[in-house]
Amino acid sequence: MGGVPVKHHSKSKVGRRRSHLALKPQNIAVCSNCRGPKMPHRTCAQCGTYAKK
């Protein structure tokens, strides 16, 4: 007992539930030191600076 669904879930019901599971586009910031791409609130992978420090 316990492993079998009691009611059928329609495709639309499942799709509405999963509508928030989509991947969101990443924000890419520009490093103020080397002008390279970096993630916000992270150190730059190219030059290693963070907030001009």
Report the mean per-residue pLDDT for the chain.
Answer: 90
Rounded to whole angstroms, how far apart are CA atoms 12 and 32? 46
pLDDT of residue 18: 96
In a domain, residue 44? The reply is: yes
In a domain, residue 16? The reply is: no
In a domain, residue 39? The reply is: yes
Say if pTM beats, i.e. exceeds, 0.85: no
Structure confidence by residue, pLDDT tens digits, 34-51: 999 999 999 999 999 998
Question: Residues with Cβ < 8 Å from 38, sequence gap 6 or more?
Answer: 28, 29, 30, 31, 44, 45, 46
Q: Which domain holds residue 50?
A: 25-53
Number of domains in the chain: 1
In a domain, residue 40? The reply is: yes
- Element of type H or E holding 29: strand 29-30
In a domain, residue 5? The reply is: no
pLDDT of residue 1: 60
In a domain, residue 34? The reply is: yes
Rounded to whole angstroms, how far apart are CA atoms 37 and 26? 12
Structure confidence by residue, pLDDT tens digits, 26-36: 999 999 889 99
**Token representation of residue 5:** 């669904």
